[in-house]
Structure 1
Amino acid sequence: MDRSPLVVGLAGVFAGMTVLLVVLAAVFRDVVVLLVAVPFAGATYLFWQHASGRLRERIREQAAAASRAREADDRGGFGAGPRFGDARTRTGRQARAGERTRGGQRIDPNAPSGPSREEAYATLGLDPGADEASVREAYRERVKDTHPDRGGDEERFKEVTAAYERLTD
């Protein structure tokens, strides 16, 4: 339990106000006063749930249930999400040959994945056999020109990134 004195005090004050308003509504037979008591009762309930730690637990349970539902969607559960053509792993990166995708499909190790090394060097504007520092520098320069956030073409950006990944594997 996380009984903060401030939150418990606020719950007590709002509970007292709720009781007072309900008694006044009963004595004077006034529905308006009873309607004013309803928000106070709701606030009392929320303060007490927070003070007892139940609110935090309920939020965690709902977040865990939503996470489980998302995972089921990613696996292609009933009525949900992508089932085919998603070649990404659980970490969100592109799946490589021999690995499994989110859907559990295995990537064919013999299938060409991305550009060849020669194509990758050409995409980055490098001579074949350039060292890793040159590859990294050329990639950074090309990304500045092709990144979609800087007004570049998204497909070209993906090509540059694929070329860099091929050369740094």
Structure 2
Amino acid sequence: MSDIYGILGICLLSFLLISSFFRGRSKRRARHQAEPGSMGEIVGDMASRIASLQEEIFRLRSENEDLRGAQSMGAPPPHDFDEFMAEKMSNEFRERTRLETAMKIMGVTSPWTVGELKVAFRERVKIFHPDQGGTAQQFTELQAAYEELKPFSKPDGAATH
């Protein structure tokens, strides 16, 4: 990974040296741009190559940051990065599914406020409490759904749309 950065750095440094050489000769450069195979055409070609190298540097840096972030979260070494990302996406899917299931149990739609969640919980308790004809398992699931959704509730004064 560092070898790529070294190569890209050398290319960038070469471009900077060449461009500074031609910076003071703008009239000559403008005259040569019209001629095919001229120095202006070569500089233009180099500029486009440098732009693509800069994009590649940006992409590699962001990938490197992702890898470092993943490793700081306890990710396996980079050769297992694809497996790590697949597991992470699977965990995010499970989390979303868990929240959707809790929303169905509670009978709320997103976004909900703290007050709406409490009202929904009290209404469901009247239905699913073991003393009211529900089962202990239904009541336990209701309590778990309430606890699951509580951190994601908006404050009572928040506008819902």
Asked if Structure 1 and Structure 2 have the same fold, meaning a TM-score greater than 0.5 normalized by the shorter chain, the answer is no
TM range (shorter): 0.3 to 0.5
Give the TM-score, by structure 2 length.
0.33
Instruction: Report the TM-score when normalising by structure 1.
Output: 0.31
